[in-house]
Chain A
Amino acid sequence: MKPIRILLADDHDLVRAGIRSLLQNLPDVEVIAEANDGNEALNLIEQKHPDLVLMDIAMPGLNGLETTRRVAKEFPQVRVVILSMHAIEEYVIQALRAGARGYLLKDSNVAELELAIHAVMRDETYLSPAVSKHITEYIRQFSQPSPLEQLTPRQREIMQLLAEGHSTQEIADILHISPKTVATHREQIMERLNIHDLASLVRYSVRMGLVPPGE
């Protein structure tokens, strides 16, 4: 079986040396090149076509996230695993967005390193347990509600009536509330959706399926 050909990109010699010595203990892995920064990494990838890149985030010149983005675009067959100091979910999210296949902490033990390399080579995504156990919760916590979800049920009701072409007075009559309240809601709806005229509101409602088009 052909060994997995790995490129190490990290600007810290000591760390690079440490990781290299860890990798040397793995039977089916071969470090074919080492890069000091993002640009050097891109050059080496083009020359040596590694199977996998272990990439630090904080590097001078072109940083790891940006390099990952370029690799994902220019060399889609090359898998990138981020090797970072940061156990911070934001970096994980950004790394995955940039196209990384895995996220590992630099101080991971050799067993985890091996696990990660093989998982990624099987086209799976690997996240270090130190971050993966919190990440779902983190994403859930800060997932942005859609603008429509930011409206109260009453506001959604009024928005639909507005889009259907009812006047403020009519809506007040239908909902048994004062026209002033309707106007206040209307203002808040516009503000939350960042829409400033009725025509745009109608278009938006059609797009969101609140009212059928052509009505």
Chain B
Amino acid sequence: LDITEHKQTEQQLQQNLQRANRLITALDQVAARLQTRLNADQVFETLGAGLKQLELTCIILLSQTDMDFRVQYHSIEPKWLKHAEKVAGLALSEIHINKQFPIASQLINNHKLMFVPDVTRLAESFLPTIPKSVVSHAARKVGLLPGTPIIFIPMLVEQQLIGILGVWGKDLQEEDLPAFSIFASQTAAALQVTLLHDQIRREHVEEQATLLRFSQALLGENNPDAIINLTLLEAAQSLKVDHAALALVDEDHRHYAAYVWTKPSAEIREQVQRVPIDSRTAMGQVILTQASLALSDITVESYGGQANLAQMGIVARMIVPMIVFGESLGCLAVNKQDVYAWSEDEMRLLSLIATNAALALERARLYQAEQHRRTEAETLHQITSALTSTLELDQVLETILSQLSRVIPYDSATLFLLEGQSLRALTGRGLPNPEQVIGQVFSPESLFFKEILLTGRPVILVDAQANSSFQKWGNSDYIRGWMGIPLVVRGDIIGILTADSRKVGAYSEVEANLMQTFAYQAALAIHNARIYEEVVKGQERLRSLSQQLVNVQETERRYLARELHDQVGQVLTAIKISLQTLKHLSKDTSLTPYLENSLTTTERALETVRNLSLDLRPSVLDDLGLVPALRWYLNRQLQVFPLNVDFTAQDFEARFPSQVETACFRLVQEAFTNIIRHAEAKHVRLDLHMKGEELVLRIQDNGVGFDVPGALARATSGSSLGLLSMQERVELAGGRLEIVSKPGKGTKLIAHFPLAVQDSKPEERRP
């Protein structure tokens, strides 16, 4: 059950990742097409068509300057829209949103993304003057069924909210928000480019074309270094400078690293690392304030690090922030070696380059994070598959250590399991003297083990050799970095997994977490293997007991049948003969009635003994074999029951292992009991033949039949044991039983006994 649950979670994870990946790819394709559109209508149409392929509908609201957003575009089916407008009594073009709407203020003021799980509720608040029922009816018409999620994404260009993109569709998820927000910004950028394009076409056609090429070049790029490269070259080229720099904020958000390009080099070099972000440097200031900075002569401005720049002959600088979703990613700078007054157009151009670069970098980061997650999930999946591929405990333990190396690097690793009060090292890898460790019992009282067992938490040693409490077994001087992780199943610690490294400080919290995740899986696999082992052992025990039971029963029956027949029967026979002799010799006729009477009584007793003996176990089965025994049995049944029986056998003389003969005979007895009791059959066909190495016994009747699964289920629940006992008998003799039947279709029992390998113990057979 645990394995199944794990698999399901994992499958879910995989599916989500695949889905996210498909979405990002699809959005990328749309964005790529957007970049080549030169007017706003084309941008809108491309957008609508692209989203439609993802079964999404969109609406774009744009605002000029007054923050009153009106519908500019939508991809709603015209037919539906007409319906909806008619129902609502309101044209879509009349709808406008401003910050007065409580629900929209977050979006407009704080540029916050909105995920609304149920669109109906939202529509109601947008249209307060219209009755709710009318709104939901209208919403339905445009595919906004109750329960359909909708997202609203601010369309930002250089921190300016130019519009709102609304997307809805039944498959949308909250996790899709980051992908869509980048997409919205790409759309906004594309829109802005087209607008700008119109505006500055007259003067800057060439730059504009370059910019377009740039955004396109960036689009397919997922490598941050390549994006930085492209950006710096583009900035230098577009703004005609020989020197450009790009700063990227570190993960700690407190430092940045700067990348610099200088003509004529083709290479970008990382110039400085871990520069504190503060207003002492110009770049730090821009990152902090998110405001562009245009310096015509740095010698008169007072920023730190200027001396360095002056040395390079830099005089004029322009720096623009790189912002994604309101957060500074870094900044982009161009430098000139003369005093220069930067124009507004130049600043806008650099800003556009920076915006494009920021989006591309964020996208690359998202992509890489996603890739990383995916790799992790895949590794986890592979590990789980490997761990669950076997249920043999020894193999599971080996697999655990071999798979552990995929999670964390180690020089040696050991797996201990709790056995009562002690810990036994069951397996290890990379140990220099495994014989001193594997199979040995260790005290759970030793310091670190005790801590792990008590707290259920990992223990990490930066340097084991420096720790006097670290116990050394088996030549462990090489161990520096050390980590011990509890193996936990359902809250119970069942053992400890340790990893050793030659490197001081090899393991930290991060490795411990990874190993702990792994250890959960490992512990579960061990647990399952143990359960499996127990089940297998239990089954074997049960089987062996049942077998013994059957053997004992048959031996007893055979013994009783023989005793009755040979001892009691012979004595009665002797008595009968004596009585006959007596009757023959006696001249006294007055004795005759008494003798006759005695003879009859003796005969009756003899008959009873004979029948009892035959019922217990027919001597024919032991003396003559299966086929004669079956013929005798069938003949005996035919004396009593009106049945038509066909019996065919390949070989009348053949003898089979005693267990098989007994199982076949008892199977036929049981089958006939059933046929006579339940089947209402007229005709029974019995066939015994060899098929390859198998003895096949087939019993077929033309009776009423029954529902096999139902009968087996009833049998398992204990209400009718006939079928099960037949099956068990056959299986105990090493065979298998097929039961084929349907109501009204008769019943067919086919027992197969493999004869080549008969490893089961033969029953005792008297000579």
A binds B: yes
Smallest Cβ distance from B604 to chain A, in angstroms?
A: 12
Per-position binary interface string of chain B over residues 621-642, scored 1 when its CB falls under 8 Å from any chain A CB and 0 otherwise:
0011000110110110010000
Per-position binary interface string of chain A over residues 15-56, scored 1 when its CB falls under 8 Å from any chain B CB and 0 otherwise:
101110110010000000000000000000000000000000
Per-position binary interface string of chain B over residues 403-428, scored 1 when its CB falls under 8 Å from any chain A CB and 0 otherwise:
00000000000000000000000000
Among B200-208, B563-571, B727-735, the stretch that binds chain A is: B563-571
A203–B87 CA distance with the chains assembled, in angstroms: 88
Q: Using Cβ atoms and an 8 Å threshold, which residues of chain B touch A93?
A: 628
Closest to B635 in A: A138
Inter-subunit contact A22/B623 (CB<8 Å): no
Inter-subunit contact B584/A63 (CB<8 Å): no
A87–B613 CA distance with the chains assembled, in angstroms: 13
* Count of A interface residues, CB-CB < 8 Å: 35
Smallest Cβ distance from B610 to chain A, in angstroms?
A: 7
Smallest Cβ distance from A38 to chain B, in angstroms?
A: 10
A178 contacts partner chain B, Cβ-Cβ < 8 Å: no
* Chain B binding surface, main DSSP class: helix
Inter-subunit contact A94/B624 (CB<8 Å): yes
A177 contacts partner chain B, Cβ-Cβ < 8 Å: no
Closest to A87 in B: B610
Per-position binary interface string of chain A over residues 161-175, scored 1 when its CB falls under 8 Å from any chain B CB and 0 otherwise:
000000000000000
Inter-subunit contact A107/B573 (CB<8 Å): yes
Among A67-75, A117-125, A139-147, A152-160, the stretch that binds chain B is: A139-147
Closest to B631 in A: A142
Q: Using Cβ atoms and an 8 Å threshold, which residues of chain A touch B632?
A: 88-90
A141–B686 CA distance with the chains assembled, in angstroms: 13
A109 contacts partner chain B, Cβ-Cβ < 8 Å: yes
Inter-subunit contact A85/B635 (CB<8 Å): no
B585 contacts partner chain A, Cβ-Cβ < 8 Å: yes
Q: Using Cβ atoms and an 8 Å threshold, which residues of chain B touch A91?
A: 620, 623-624
Q: In B534-582, which residues have CB < 8 Å from any A CB?
A: 565-566, 569-571, 573-574, 576-578, 580-581
A110 contacts partner chain B, Cβ-Cβ < 8 Å: yes
Closest to A13 in B: B574
Inter-subunit contact A85/B565 (CB<8 Å): yes
A89–B634 CA distance with the chains assembled, in angstroms: 12
Among B385-393, B463-471, B495-503, B647-655, the stretch that binds chain A is: B647-655
Per-position binary interface string of chain B over residues 135-152, scored 1 when its CB falls under 8 Å from any chain A CB and 0 otherwise:
000000000000000000
User: Contacts A12-B574, A63-B623, A144-B649 hold; do A18 and B631 have CB atoms under 8 A apart?
Assistant: no
A186 contacts partner chain B, Cβ-Cβ < 8 Å: no
Contact of A19 among B577, B603, B623 (CB under 8 A): B577
A86 contacts partner chain B, Cβ-Cβ < 8 Å: yes
Closest to B620 in A: A90
Smallest Cβ distance from B664 to chain A, in angstroms?
A: 16
Most buried by A among B565, B566, B585, B629: B566
Q: Using Cβ atoms and an 8 Å threshold, which residues of chain A touch B566?
A: 12, 58
User: Contacts A25-B585, A91-B620, A141-B635 hold; do A60 and B767 have CB atoms under 8 A apart?
Assistant: yes
Inter-subunit contact B631/A90 (CB<8 Å): yes
A63–B620 CA distance with the chains assembled, in angstroms: 13
Q: Using Cβ atoms and an 8 Å threshold, which residues of chain B touch A21?
A: 577-578, 581
A89–B571 CA distance with the chains assembled, in angstroms: 23
Inter-subunit contact A22/B581 (CB<8 Å): yes
Q: Using Cβ atoms and an 8 Å threshold, which residues of chain A touch B635?
A: 89, 138, 141-142
Contact of A88 among B577, B620, B647, B649 (CB under 8 A): B620
User: Contacts A57-B623, A88-B620, A90-B620 hold; do A18 and B569 have CB atoms under 8 A apart?
Assistant: no
Smallest Cβ distance from B201 to chain A, in angstroms?
A: 77
Q: Using Cβ atoms and an 8 Å threshold, which residues of chain A touch B689?
A: 194
Closest to A60 in B: B767
Inter-subunit contact A107/B767 (CB<8 Å): no
B606 contacts partner chain A, Cβ-Cβ < 8 Å: yes
A93–B652 CA distance with the chains assembled, in angstroms: 12
Q: Using Cβ atoms and an 8 Å threshold, which residues of chain B touch A60?
A: 767
Inter-subunit contact B767/A142 (CB<8 Å): no
Contact of A15 among B573, B606, B634 (CB under 8 A): B573
Smallest Cβ distance from B153 to chain A, in angstroms?
A: 64
Smallest Cβ distance from B699 to chain A, in angstroms?
A: 16
Contact of A85 among B569, B647, B648, B650 (CB under 8 A): B569
B619 contacts partner chain A, Cβ-Cβ < 8 Å: yes
Q: Using Cβ atoms and an 8 Å threshold, which residues of chain B touch A12?
A: 566, 570, 573-574
Inter-subunit contact B652/A144 (CB<8 Å): yes
A150 contacts partner chain B, Cβ-Cβ < 8 Å: yes
A168–B570 CA distance with the chains assembled, in angstroms: 64
Most buried by A among B569, B634, B652, B689: B569
A76 contacts partner chain B, Cβ-Cβ < 8 Å: no
A89–B648 CA distance with the chains assembled, in angstroms: 18
Smallest Cβ distance from A175 to chain B, in angstroms?
A: 27
A152–B570 CA distance with the chains assembled, in angstroms: 49
Smallest Cβ distance from A137 to chain B, in angstroms?
A: 9
A71–B25 CA distance with the chains assembled, in angstroms: 95
A3 contacts partner chain B, Cβ-Cβ < 8 Å: no
A138–B636 CA distance with the chains assembled, in angstroms: 10
Smallest Cβ distance from A146 to chain B, in angstroms?
A: 11
Per-position binary interface string of chain A over residues 81-118, scored 1 when its CB falls under 8 Å from any chain B CB and 0 otherwise:
00001111111011000000000001101100000000
User: Contacts A60-B767, A141-B635, A142-B647 hold; do A14 and B580 have CB atoms under 8 A apart?
Assistant: no
Closest to B614 in A: A88
A61 contacts partner chain B, Cβ-Cβ < 8 Å: yes
User: Contacts A25-B581, A107-B603 hold; do A85 and B570 have CB atoms under 8 A apart?
Assistant: yes
A147–B610 CA distance with the chains assembled, in angstroms: 37
Closest to B581 in A: A21
Inter-subunit contact B581/A110 (CB<8 Å): yes
A150–B685 CA distance with the chains assembled, in angstroms: 13
Inter-subunit contact A150/B573 (CB<8 Å): no
Inter-subunit contact B565/A22 (CB<8 Å): no
Smallest Cβ distance from A116 to chain B, in angstroms?
A: 15
Closest to A107 in B: B576
Q: Using Cβ atoms and an 8 Å threshold, which residues of chain A touch B603?
A: 107
Inter-subunit contact B573/A85 (CB<8 Å): yes
Inter-subunit contact A94/B628 (CB<8 Å): yes
Smallest Cβ distance from B325 to chain A, in angstroms?
A: 70
Closest to B572 in A: A107
A138–B585 CA distance with the chains assembled, in angstroms: 38
A186–B663 CA distance with the chains assembled, in angstroms: 33
Q: Using Cβ atoms and an 8 Å threshold, which residues of chain B touch A85?
A: 565, 569-570, 573, 610
Q: Using Cβ atoms and an 8 Å threshold, which residues of chain B touch A65?
A: 623
Inter-subunit contact B767/A14 (CB<8 Å): no
Q: Using Cβ atoms and an 8 Å threshold, which residues of chain B touch A18?
A: 573-574, 577-578, 581
Closest to A65 in B: B623
A43–B643 CA distance with the chains assembled, in angstroms: 48
Q: Using Cβ atoms and an 8 Å threshold, which residues of chain B touch A145?
A: 648
Q: Using Cβ atoms and an 8 Å threshold, which residues of chain A touch B573?
A: 12, 15, 18, 85, 106-107
Smallest Cβ distance from B216 to chain A, in angstroms?
A: 63
Closest to A106 in B: B573
Smallest Cβ distance from A18 to chain B, in angstroms?
A: 3
Contact of B574 among A17, A57, A88 (CB under 8 A): A17
Q: Using Cβ atoms and an 8 Å threshold, which residues of chain B touch A90?
A: 620, 624, 628-629, 631-632
Smallest Cβ distance from B230 to chain A, in angstroms?
A: 69
Smallest Cβ distance from B236 to chain A, in angstroms?
A: 80
Most buried by B among A57, A85, A94: A85
Most buried by B among A14, A22, A87, A150: A14
A19–B577 CA distance with the chains assembled, in angstroms: 7
A65–B625 CA distance with the chains assembled, in angstroms: 13
A87–B767 CA distance with the chains assembled, in angstroms: 21
The 6 closest A-B pairs by CB, nearest first: A18-B577, A14-B574, A90-B628, A12-B570, A107-B576, A106-B573
Known: A12-B566, A89-B635, A109-B584. 12 other contacts (CB 8 A): A25-B581, A58-B565, A58-B623, A60-B767, A85-B573, A88-B632, A90-B620, A90-B624, A90-B628, A90-B632, A138-B635, A142-B647
Q: List 11 A-B contacts (CB under 8 A).
A: A12-B570, A25-B584, A85-B565, A87-B610, A90-B628, A106-B577, A107-B580, A110-B584, A138-B635, A150-B648, A194-B689
